[in-house]
Amino acid sequence: MFFEKSNYFNLLKHHKITLYFGDFYLLENFIIAEFNEGIHFDWDKIQELATELIRHYGYELKIGFISNRVNSYSTDPRLWTKFNQEFGFIVASAIVVYDDISYMNATLEKQFSENSLKRCSSLEEALHWMQNLKEFKS
């Protein structure tokens, strides 16, 4: 389910940015990413998104990342290691999967993740998990 079509869209305060490769909803402690169908999320796109996130949250950001996989896209999971070395501001990730192929891809990405990564079967599950992370508790 797309974030904009969910009950949470009107309940959770957010700022939306649209880049040529997807829509991104920036909440207080995490973002929801919905990549466009068929794109390849490569290093150039990661850098562009990171720049937008730093612009919004500031240089000292520590956020969670929800990949709401409503569309099929590809990425090289090894890029997350490079991302953590260069930026390192994602403290945890959740991947919302809607089919078996997405689940298998998320399982592969989990192998490369240095941070906590949860595979979720619904956007609601991902939001609940992200909102209750100890990293965001005051």
Give the CATH number, domain containing residue 46.
3.30.750
Count of CB atoms within 10 A of residue 11's CB? Answer: 9
What separation, in Å, do the N-terminal and C-terminal C-alpha atoms of the chain show?
30
Give the structural domain span for 82.
3-136
Beta-sheet pairing, 90-96 with 116-120: parallel
Provide the pLDDT for residue 61. Answer: 93
At 118 the three-state DSSP class reads strand
Whether this prediction's pTM lies above 0.75 is answered by yes
Which residue ranges in the chain fall short of pLDDT 70?
Answer: 103, 106-108, 110-112, 138
Size of the chain, expressed as the number of residues it contains: 138
Query: Rounded to an integer, what distance in angstroms lies between the CA atom of residue 127 and that of residue 4?
Result: 14
Q: How many domains does the chain have?
A: 1
pLDDT digits (tens, 9 = 90+) for 42-71: 999 999 999 999 999 999 999 999 999 999
Provide the pLDDT for residue 138. Answer: 59
At 51 the three-state DSSP class reads helix
CA max distance for the chain: 39
Q: Which two tokens stand for residue 106?
A: 């998320």
Count of CB atoms within 10 A of residue 64's CB? Answer: 23
Q: Which two tokens stand for residue 94?
A: 């959740």
Q: Which two tokens stand for residue 31?
A: 């973002």
